[in-house]
Structure 1
Amino acid sequence: MQTISLSLVAAAAMALPGLAAAQSALQPLRLSDALAEADRGAFANRQATANAASSRAQAALPLKGILPSARVEGGFVRTTDPIGAFGTTLRQRAVTPAAFDPARLNDPAPVNNVTGGLVFEVPVFNADALTGWRAARTAAEATGAMADWTAVNTRAMVVKAYYGAVLASEKVGMLTQAKRAADAAVKQVESMVRQGLVTKADQLQASVRAGDIEAQLLAARNEAVTARQQLAMLLGRSDTVLVALPASLPSDSAVRAFARASQPAVAETNTPLERDDVRAAQLGARAAAADRQRATATLLPRVNGFARYDYNSPTALYAGKPNWTVGLMGSWSLFGGANELADVAGASARARSAKAGEEAAQANARVEADAAARAVTLASQRLDLAITAAAQSREAHRLVEKRYTGGLATIAELLGAETAATGAALAESAARYTLIDALAQHRRALGADPGALAQLEPATRASSNDIRNEDPTV
């Protein structure tokens, strides 16, 4: 068993350098590339695009009552009906004096007829079809606008998920360093206990601190895996392969500079919002109004023209001498069991509902924009406070560590300072991420492109704190 175990350890040791080399060669996914991938393959985007294409196809159906049409007909008839038999003979231009024999007229022999026809139909006046086509076309435009809005939402979610996964990776790196420091402190305290310099209680406090850091690290690694998987799913990937990401978020200075550049847009709360969801609501109201006109137009007369060539032969299709027919057909439904009136009433109600929806979309957009602007201001202030707190915590830890080295501070004070410094560093990263997300949501609320936050990313290399390097079991 020892031989087998040693063999497995040796094989794993030989495989690790190759695995590390493959991982080090893996380049991190840039936000700009993630956004482009989501534009092409995100599940929500693909569904919205397909729905828009379906609506555009459906919008062409009312053209049947507007554009001319042509069709080819063919058939076969065999009959002994006196009128049908004589009419068929007449159509085939095969009437002879014998055909007027009363006996043949009353009891004709079976007659075969192969019919062929070329039919042309020309709508002359169909007001309901014209207004229905206009309503369907506008409704298709509204669906397209909603597809555009879905793409904007997806880009905002990609920014949130991307930097959320980077934050999770950065947290793993911080806690990994904290765990190494905690483990080193435990060993140092154990040595000091053996020398009689500190008590057993100090050793237990250091062990508790190390155990707490390890528990946080395990949870952070799990969160990082989940965050990367969620990002991959959001990009439209069907596999569960984890993406490589940068080691840390953009710097505080870069994020705050982007936020300062966004301040003019934050302040302009009275400007009209050009959001795709508002545009979709406006188009939906116009489509509903056009549909109300369609329903009203069903009360008007309809006029259609037609022309046809017909062939009749006892044996062959499109044989014999053709005959032609042209005509004009008008119809006017004066009363259809109140169906038309119900259609008009329903369309009018839908138009009022769509108009209310348009106003609600505009009001909701303004509320979202104002709330997003306040969220940017709040996140900026919280980041400033977190930066100050992190700097103060680092300085406090340095001073306590200096006092501890000189024997003027206890191990409990040192561990408390380390805990505060680690917590402040994590809070600073979280505040930075909150500001990034607030900036993305603010751009979305204004109808701008959240993908502009790709300006924050510098030229990056593969993460040295990749969770797959930290935990070989992932």
Structure 2
Amino acid sequence: MRTIPYSLVAVAALALPGFAAAQSPLRLADALAEADRRAFANRQASANAASSRAQAALPLKGILPSARVEGGFVRTTDPIGAFGTTLRQRAVTPAAFDPARLNDPAPVNNVTGGLVLEVPVFNADALTGWRAARSAADAGDAMAEWTAVSTRAMVVKAYYGAVLAEEKVAMLTQATRAAQAAVRQVESMVRQGLVTKADQLQASVRAGEVQSQLLGARHDAITARQQLAMLLGRTDTNAVSIPSALPSDSVVRAFARATPAAGGAHLTRDDVRAAQLGAKAAVADRQRATATLLPRVNGFARYDYNSPATLYAGKPNWTVGVMGSWSLFGGASELADVAGASARARNARASEDAAKVNARIEADAAARGVVLALQRLDLATSAATQSTEAHRLVEKRYGGGLATVAELLGAESAATGAALAQAAARYALIDALAQHRRAIGADPGALAQLDATTSPSTNDVRNEDPTL
């Protein structure tokens, strides 16, 4: 028996009537929540932020005390090592001072054990390095949050883009049926001698054009659902079911009227905050590099055991001390570090200024984009109303024998095109609203309020006729 590849089965299943309708439609609110948890970009950004946060703890080694346990074994015939080992084990006798024994000692075993405490007293480079690392970690967290906000805006765009594709399929399905009905009517009129063969051919051509558009729309709808699934972080991209129509014009306009103005909200954007924290981290890193030129002071305490055969046995001894070090010249490496950190600080400041200006420009452009999308929706709505009325009048004239088949087909094509353009303009306004909220630092997920106004089922019209 031949085996059909799984990918072909999946694609074919999506094209089968009723496949999408069998699933519960995904709401935008659920899609946003799923993307927050599973979107690939969000997971990557979260992992990077966690890595930066973990790296921020490394400079604490030069700030906080450290303790460790040591253990080891030594066997030696080195004269100094052998005598010193005997002395550490408190086993020295007068015979140990025999010159022959001192010069040629027998092998001596020593099991060492130690408890060590190290206490940093003054390490300026560690303190400033810790501040730099913390600011860098905070910047990573802010960028992860900005990625999440940007992902939510993309989810809104992809979700309603897929819904628009379904609505386009429904419209073209209806237009295809109307065109096929017109073909059958013209064929009947040809047989009656009321119209010519040319009229029948024109109607057939128009029906073929609409059916071709429908086939392309179905392909685009499948692709849009798969892209949405990938954006949500799904590995199975063939299991997304969505509503069949966008929210109405009045609902989208009402949401647009409630959208906040740009104002100074862009200052709260997470990418701007990340740039500010990055600049703060760069300044602290410059201070760290400068602090490497200062002396370092560290204290330590040891508790050591020495025994011929047993770990942590014998009489212990202790050692306490303070050590200072000052690197006066390290081959100019310290100066190079200071110069590089200063350059990075200047670059971070420039990036912060650029992020602020870019946020302001994006916020202003997004606000204008909402106004433009509203104006285009008004024009598209007016054009759709006029095209529908024009089609009705031409259809009425055609019924009275005052209009040709070509005029009727042209009016029907214009009405379908205007309806598609109106839906596209409505989608463009939704996308503009999402992008505006992102640009001003607000949550694009607020558009989930439109869930209650979206058709609750998938495109049933498309699924009714498997021949289309």
Question: Could you tell me the TM-score, scaled by structure 2's length?
Answer: 0.94
Tell whether the 8 Å contact from 1:125 to 1:303 is kept in structure 2 after alignment: yes
Tell whether the 8 Å contact from 2:21 to 2:241 is kept in structure 1 after alignment: no
Q: Secondary structure at the match of 1:330?
A: strand
Equivalent residue number for residue 460 of structure 2: 465
**For residues 224-259 of structure 1, what are the alpha-carbon distances to aligned partners after superposition, in whole Å with 9 as ceiling and x for unaligned?**
000000000000000122311111000000001111
1:436 shift after superposition: 0.4
2:411 corresponds, among 417, 435, 446, to 417
Tell whether the 8 Å contact from 2:298 to 2:323 is kept in structure 1 after alignment: yes
In structure 2, what is the Cα distance between the partners aligned to 1:78 and 1:300? 42
Q: Secondary structure at the match of 1:455?
A: helix
Equivalent residue number for residue 10 of structure 1: none
Q: Secondary structure at the match of 1:458?
A: helix
Map residues 248-397 of structure 1 onto 2, 5 A cutoff.
248-262=245-259, 264-266=260-262, 268=263, 273-397=267-391
Percent pairwise identity: 80
In structure 2, relative to structure 1, the CA distance for the partners of 1:275 and 1:236 (3 Å cut) is same
Tell whether the 8 Å contact from 1:169 to 1:465 is kept in structure 2 after alignment: no
**For residues 31-82 of structure 1, what are the alpha-carbon distances to aligned partners after superposition, in whole Å with 9 as ceiling and x for unaligned?**
0000000000000000000000000000000000000000011111111111
Tell whether the 8 Å contact from 1:301 to 1:332 is kept in structure 2 after alignment: yes
**For residues 377-396 of structure 1, what are the alpha-carbon distances to aligned partners after superposition, in whole Å with 9 as ceiling and x for unaligned?**
11100000000100000000
Map residues 27-46 of structure 1 onto 2, 5 A cutoff.
27-46=24-43
In structure 2, what is the Cα distance between the partners aligned to 1:169 and 1:471? 16
Map residues 127-206 of structure 1 onto 2, 5 A cutoff.
127-206=124-203
In structure 1, what is the Cα distance between the partners aligned to 2:451 and 2:64? 54
**For residues 417-444 of structure 1, what are the alpha-carbon distances to aligned partners after superposition, in whole Å with 9 as ceiling and x for unaligned?**
0000000000000000000000000000
One-letter amino acid of the counterpart of residue 174, structure 2: Q
Tell whether the 8 Å contact from 2:366 to 2:439 is kept in structure 1 after alignment: yes
Equivalent residue number for residue 7 of structure 1: none
1:26 shift after superposition: 2.4
Aligned pairs, number:
453
1:456 shift after superposition: 1.4
In structure 2, what is the Cα distance between the partners aligned to 1:462 and 1:220? 18
- Does 1:231 find its partner at 2:233? no
2:114 corresponds, among 112, 117, 127, to 117
In structure 2, what is the Cα distance between the partners aligned to 1:323 and 1:471? 91
Equivalent residue number for residue 434 of structure 2: 440
One-letter amino acid of the counterpart of residue 326, structure 1: V
1:445 shift after superposition: 0.3
In structure 2, relative to structure 1, the CA distance for the partners of 1:21 and 1:380 (3 Å cut) is closer
**Gap regions ≥5 residues in structure 2:** 1-12
In structure 1, what is the Cα distance between the partners aligned to 2:265 and 2:18? 53
In structure 2, relative to structure 1, the CA distance for the partners of 1:25 and 1:220 (3 Å cut) is closer
1:24 shift after superposition: 4.3
**Gap regions ≥5 residues in structure 1:** 1-15
In structure 2, relative to structure 1, the CA distance for the partners of 1:312 and 1:419 (3 Å cut) is same
**For residues 316-369 of structure 1, what are the alpha-carbon distances to aligned partners after superposition, in whole Å with 9 as ceiling and x for unaligned?**
111100000000000000111101000000000000000000000000011111
In structure 2, what is the Cα distance between the partners aligned to 1:407 and 1:329? 108
In structure 1, what is the Cα distance between the partners aligned to 2:29 and 2:428? 20
In structure 1, what is the Cα distance between the partners aligned to 2:238 and 2:359? 37
In structure 2, what is the Cα distance between the partners aligned to 1:467 and 1:297? 71
In structure 2, relative to structure 1, the CA distance for the partners of 1:233 and 1:209 (3 Å cut) is same
In structure 2, relative to structure 1, the CA distance for the partners of 1:260 and 1:46 (3 Å cut) is same
In structure 2, relative to structure 1, the CA distance for the partners of 1:55 and 1:469 (3 Å cut) is farther
Superposed CA RMSD: 1.7
In structure 1, what is the Cα distance between the partners aligned to 2:467 and 2:57? 57
In structure 1, what is the Cα distance between the partners aligned to 2:332 and 2:343? 17
Q: Secondary structure at the match of 2:261?
A: helix
In structure 2, what is the Cα distance between the partners aligned to 1:208 and 1:442? 43
Q: Secondary structure at the match of 2:412?
A: helix
2:46 corresponds, among 34, 49, 59, to 49
In structure 2, relative to structure 1, the CA distance for the partners of 1:144 and 1:89 (3 Å cut) is same
Moved more, 141-150 or 19-28: 19-28
In structure 2, what is the Cα distance between the partners aligned to 1:229 and 1:313? 71
**For residues 74-117 of structure 1, what are the alpha-carbon distances to aligned partners after superposition, in whole Å with 9 as ceiling and x for unaligned?**
11111111111100000000000000011101111111111111
1:468 shift after superposition: 6.2
Q: Secondary structure at the match of 1:250?
A: coil
In structure 2, what is the Cα distance between the partners aligned to 1:322 and 1:470? 92
One-letter amino acid of the counterpart of residue 254, structure 1: V
In structure 1, what is the Cα distance between the partners aligned to 2:467 and 2:294? 76
Q: Secondary structure at the match of 2:267?
A: coil
Tell whether the 8 Å contact from 2:173 to 2:461 is kept in structure 1 after alignment: no
In structure 2, relative to structure 1, the CA distance for the partners of 1:220 and 1:470 (3 Å cut) is farther
In structure 2, what is the Cα distance between the partners aligned to 1:373 and 1:23? 36
Tell whether the 8 Å contact from 1:80 to 1:111 is kept in structure 2 after alignment: yes
Equivalent residue number for residue 392 of structure 2: 398
In structure 2, what is the Cα distance between the partners aligned to 1:467 and 1:239? 23
Question: Could you tell me the TM-score, scaled by structure 1's length?
Answer: 0.93
One-letter amino acid of the counterpart of residue 94, structure 1: A
Q: Secondary structure at the match of 2:460?
A: coil
